[in-house]
Structure 1
């Protein structure tokens, strides 16, 4: 019994699953049917009929026939086949052959998808053709008035184009021929070829319009403006030449003459209607003419500068030379008195070479003025360079004179410093004598003797002939250091002696109370009498601080 129930349930389940799967197949068949009907009901044929508004010949006729055949094949063959396949899918579902039904539906899906792609391609090509035709027509509607305007301009203003008029007329005829070819292509239904013609005509016409707009000005410049400028420039050069300016050295006459030939070449080039090359040449010539005027102005200014500044340059060179000779003589006299380093003498020799070179340069400038092989502009450059060198040399001479003056000043100052240090030594000696200390430590006398010896070395250095100021400065530094050290040590020794006395006197109040302090004070007194003031102070101060901390600070403050 359980087996029968289980079998019955299994059969029922299988039937239910089969019904569900068959329902899905039916639903998918309905979707595909709707998709097929949607394709059939589209206005593709109406879209294709738009081509009939064009010239249905040549390339357009071929395209239309191709698109129509493809659409007819879809409607009469592909879609009916899809209908049959849908019946086959339903039949397979009825027979519970679900795998076969799904396979058929998959093939139908792919077929319909391919049909969609093919229809999109047909419509895309159709729209491209229609847009191309419309675009070509609109652009030609814009180009034709421009062509007519050019023809009118050439007729009314032909004088502005001179001998280039035939070339321009030939160009516009070529463009008209291309327009005629375009019209023939349109009439023949070859709209893609017509598009290529439009794409060729438009830039040609734009370029031609630009050339026409620029040509009158360029033609007038070559025919009238530039020849007048060149003539005026040539006259100006000749006038300056007659007035004595050295324009021949600039090579301008030959260059200007060459421009006349270049203008003739430009006129011949313009006959062919070619603006571009001539336009570049004009710009170069105009810029060069401007530069030539600047060169002529520079030459005139240079001549005035030379005439004004040359006497001043000669005077400065002579003054600089005289000043150097004076400095040189002074050095020769001072060499017996002062010692000059090799580097100092090298500076003097370098200045002599430079002043001689300056003198030679000035003579060369005068020779250049007497001759006529160099332009005033070049001579001015040489003269300006001479002034710069003069300024540099004057700075060097001033610095060297200051160096000589400083030698004397250093000698006088060294003598003054020596006298000052002698007084300082005497002051130290008097301070020691008046100090009222038991005695002077040996090291103080040694320091004082050293300071005296250092002063003596300074004196000997000052007495040397020739005087080496470097040696003097070194001796002065050593003497000054020795005296400052002696003064410092002397003051320190006297202060220590005085402070020792005060500390011992202050500590005596504790002598009877503290036997150990009494012994240490005796030792301090012994050291004091032996002139060991530093040790005596240290011993007494240490002993006192042990009994009364801070006592030393109180004593020093009083």
Structure 2
């Protein structure tokens, strides 16, 4: 019983699956049927019929026939076959032959895809053809008046084109021939070839229009302006030679002849071929002609410069030589009295050598001016270099003079400073003598002796012959430092001694009441009499501060007030 139920259930399941699969086939058949009907309803024939507005011959006719035949084949053969395939697929599905039905459906899909692809290609190529025809026609409508304008421009300005008129006439004739060829291609239905012709025609018209516009200017330059400039340049060159200017080294005669020949070649090229190559050549020629004018002008200016500047340069150099001769004599005298640093001696000798070189250079320039062996521009460069060197020498000579003057000035200042330091030492000695202190500490006398000794060394340095001012200044610096230290230490020592006396006098008021304080004051007095003023002050200040804090500051202020009176 269970076996029978299982078989029944399996049959039911199979029937359900079969129904589902058959439904799917029906749905796919319906989709393909809709796809087929959509293709049939497309107005492809009307689109192809748009070609009838064109010249149906040649290439265009071939395409029209091919596209029309392909569409008719689709409508009369492939789509009816698809209809049959759809019936076969439904019939197979009815018989539960799903594998056969799916195979038929895949074939239908392939056919429909192929049809879609062909239709798309037809419409694309058709649109491109119509677009090409329309664009070409519109461009030709614009190009025709342009060609007429070119012919009119040439006719009205023939004198500007000279012999090149023939070449331009031929080129315009060729443009008109290409225009005729365009119409011939259109008439034969070759619209793609016609489009190529239009593109080439458009490019050639633009080039010819550009050349017609720029030709007169370029031709005038090559035929008249630049040759005239070269003639003027040649005449000026010859005139400058006659007036004594040195221009032979420039070699312009051959270069001018070469450029005249090149300009003739440019004229022939303009008449026979075009402006393109000539346009590359002209900038070079124009630039070089301007350079030649500038070089000639430079030579003329150089000659005038030399004639006007050499006398002044000679006079300035002579005056400077005489001035240096005086400095030289002064230096020779001073070298016996002063020591000169190596760099000062080297600078002095270099100045003498450079002055001799400038005199020799001036003589060479004057000789070259007479024998005409060099260009004026080169001689000018040498003279300008001489001016620059002379100016530099004058500056260096001025520095040397200042250095010489400073030697004497430094000596006088050193002697004055030595006298001042000796006075300071005497002042310190008087100050110590007049002070009422018990005695002077040894370190003060040692500082005094050191200052006196260093002053003697300054004096000895000043007495040496030749005088080495650097050694003098070094000794002077050491002596000044020693004197300053002696003065400072003496002032501090005296201040400590006076302050110690004041502190002891102030503390005496507490001596009887404070035995400890009395002992410390006694020790401070002993140190004071032993010339130990710093220690004595420390002992007395510490003792009085213990009894009366702040007493030391009060005593110091009182002493400062007395000192200001």
Contact 1:250–1:375 (CA under 8 A) maintained in structure 2: no
Deviations 1:358-409 (A, max 9, x none): 1122112212211223333322222222111111111100001101110100
* Equivalent position of 1:418 in the other structure: 418
Per the TM alignment, residue 125 of structure 1 is displaced from its structure 2 partner at its CA by 1.0
Relative to structure 1, the CA distance from residue 103 to residue 540 in structure 2 (aligned partners, 3 Å threshold; closer, same or farther) is farther
Please say if 1:431 is aligned against 2:431. Answer: yes
Per the TM alignment, residue 421 of structure 1 is displaced from its structure 2 partner at its CA by 0.2
Q: Secondary structure at the match of 2:353?
A: helix
Deviations 1:40-99 (A, max 9, x none): 111111111222322223322332233233323332333233323333444455456667
Relative to structure 1, the CA distance from residue 437 to residue 337 in structure 2 (aligned partners, 3 Å threshold; closer, same or farther) is same
* Equivalent position of 2:563 in the other structure: none
Deviations 1:504-542 (A, max 9, x none): 222223323332222222211111111111111112222
Structure 2 counterparts to residues 132-147 of structure 1, below 5 A:
132-147=132-147
Q: Secondary structure at the match of 1:30?
A: helix
Structure 2 counterparts to residues 109-120 of structure 1, below 5 A:
109-120=109-120
* Equivalent position of 1:495 in the other structure: 495
* Equivalent position of 1:443 in the other structure: 443
Structure 2 counterparts to residues 181-220 of structure 1, below 5 A:
181-220=181-220
Within 1, Cα distance between the matches of 2:104 and 2:543?
127
Per the TM alignment, residue 497 of structure 1 is displaced from its structure 2 partner at its CA by 0.8
Per the TM alignment, residue 220 of structure 1 is displaced from its structure 2 partner at its CA by 2.7
* Equivalent position of 2:480 in the other structure: 480
Within 2, Cα distance between the matches of 1:546 and 1:107?
128
Relative to structure 1, the CA distance from residue 3 to residue 247 in structure 2 (aligned partners, 3 Å threshold; closer, same or farther) is same
Relative to structure 1, the CA distance from residue 507 to residue 113 in structure 2 (aligned partners, 3 Å threshold; closer, same or farther) is farther
* Equivalent position of 1:506 in the other structure: 506
Contact 1:428–1:487 (CA under 8 A) maintained in structure 2: yes
Within 2, Cα distance between the matches of 1:486 and 1:214?
98
Within 2, Cα distance between the matches of 1:5 and 1:501?
144
Please say if 1:253 is aligned against 2:253. Answer: yes
Deviations 1:212-253 (A, max 9, x none): 222223223333333333333333333333333333343333
* Equivalent position of 1:349 in the other structure: 349
> Any unmatched runs of 5+ in structure 2?
559-565
Per the TM alignment, residue 434 of structure 1 is displaced from its structure 2 partner at its CA by 1.3
Relative to structure 1, the CA distance from residue 31 to residue 547 in structure 2 (aligned partners, 3 Å threshold; closer, same or farther) is farther
Contact 1:185–1:193 (CA under 8 A) maintained in structure 2: yes
Please say if 1:315 is aligned against 2:304. Answer: no
Q: Using the TM superposition, name which of 402-411 and 66-75 deviates more.
A: 66-75
* Equivalent position of 2:454 in the other structure: 454
Within 2, Cα distance between the matches of 1:500 and 1:100?
137
Per the TM alignment, residue 433 of structure 1 is displaced from its structure 2 partner at its CA by 0.9
Q: Secondary structure at the match of 2:339?
A: coil
Please say if 1:267 is aligned against 2:273. Answer: no
Within 1, Cα distance between the matches of 2:535 and 2:118?
123
Please say if 1:237 is aligned against 2:237. Answer: yes
Per the TM alignment, residue 180 of structure 1 is displaced from its structure 2 partner at its CA by 3.6
Structure 2 counterparts to residues 326-345 of structure 1, below 5 A:
326-345=326-345
Q: Using the TM superposition, name which of 387-396 and 348-357 deviates more.
A: 348-357
Within 1, Cα distance between the matches of 2:168 and 2:292?
36
Deviations 1:426-476 (A, max 9, x none): 011111111211110001000000000000000000000000001000000
Q: Using the TM superposition, name which of 128-137 and 509-518 deviates more.
A: 509-518
Structure 2 counterparts to residues 13-92 of structure 1, below 5 A:
25-92=25-92
Within 2, Cα distance between the matches of 1:442 and 1:212?
114
Q: Using the TM superposition, name which of 452-461 and 182-191 deviates more.
A: 182-191
Within 2, Cα distance between the matches of 1:78 and 1:514?
145
* Equivalent position of 1:371 in the other structure: 371
Q: Secondary structure at the match of 1:145?
A: helix
Within 2, Cα distance between the matches of 1:435 and 1:377?
85
Contact 1:249–1:373 (CA under 8 A) maintained in structure 2: no
Within 2, Cα distance between the matches of 1:297 and 1:194?
61
Cα RMSD for the two superposed structures = 2.8
Within 2, Cα distance between the matches of 1:265 and 1:80?
77
TM-score between the two structures when normalised by the length of structure 2: 0.90
* Equivalent position of 2:561 in the other structure: none
Q: Using the TM superposition, name which of 19-28 and 258-267 deviates more.
A: 19-28
Relative to structure 1, the CA distance from residue 25 to residue 550 in structure 2 (aligned partners, 3 Å threshold; closer, same or farther) is farther
Q: Aligned pairs, how many?
A: 558
